[in-house]
Amino acid sequence: MAFLKKKFEELPEDAVIISQEQAYNYQLKLIHNWDKLSEVWALRFGPGVLGAIGGLSGIYINKHFRTKLKLGNYGKFSTYLPIVILPALFSTINHKVSIQKSIILQSEMCPVCIQMRAAGFQVGLGTIYPAVIAPFATLMFATRHYTYRLPSITEQPKEVFKLIAKFSKPLSGFIAGSAIVSMLVAMYITYLEMKQYYSLQEKLEKLSEKYDQDTLITQQRVQNI
């Protein structure tokens, strides 16, 4: 069955009317069970690829600040969670819910708009978020474990922000590069998702038409007997 978004008066007599959520779940199941992986790989693995990119950016940023603050193994998981794991999860889930769902339900018919939104979310969640949260998360553990002599945030806030700026400056090139790569990959993945989804719909419509023709021929043969 092909998923067709039509006006009520354009529906055929035997059409089955379902909710958007039912249509979305049906399409996900169809994509998951499609026998040719090459035809649906972006739809299946695209969100995971973007999540991995966000996670890799977080790993580099986290390592940079942990090295600067001489944290060693102190608070290792506690900084990896907000700086690496959460951006990866947010990037994956957000793309699946906000971008891929729009493609499958055809709720927005502007391909460029969808691509730009996907790029914005990916840069924000996969690059900017870990870059903003990393200095504060690592500074907290450096203060707790006395691994780096830090000015008091309450008494010398300006000095703390100067230190953050000093540590962040070497990352400016990486953050810019990461943002560009994230943007381009997100746009490309989204383009492939749209291309594969519409191609899948065309194949389903052809299969549906062939089935209808075969059924009609069979009925005519039965009537002629």
pLDDT tens string 94-106? 999 999 999 998 8
End-to-end Cα separation, the chain, in angstroms: 30
Q: Return the higher-pLDDT residue of 96 and 209.
A: 96
pLDDT band at 154 (very low <50, low <70, confident <90, very high): confident
pLDDT band at 9 (very low <50, low <70, confident <90, very high): very low
d(CA 104, CA 194): 8
- Taking 90 as the threshold, does the pLDDT of residue 224 lie above it? no
> Amino acid identity, residue 37?
L
d(CA 29, CA 40): 12
Neighbouring residues of 220: CB distance < 8 A, sequence distance ≥ 6: none
- Kindly list the domain boundaries of the chain, sorted by start residue: 42-201
List, for residues 24-76, the tens digit of each pLDDT value: 888 889 899 998 999 999 999 999 999 999 999 999 999 999 999 999 999 99
Q: Give me the percent of the chain exceeding a pLDDT of 90.
A: 63
Task: Share the mean pLDDT of the chain.
Answer: 87
pLDDT for the residue 84 = 95
List, for residues 163-200, the tens digit of each pLDDT value: 999 999 999 999 999 999 999 999 999 999 999 999 99
pLDDT for the residue 7 = 46
d(CA 46, CA 100): 9
d(CA 100, CA 51): 14
pLDDT for the residue 19 = 76
Averaged over 101-119, what is the pLDDT?
A: 91
CB 121 within 8 A of CB 96: no
pLDDT for the residue 88 = 95
pLDDT for the residue 8 = 44
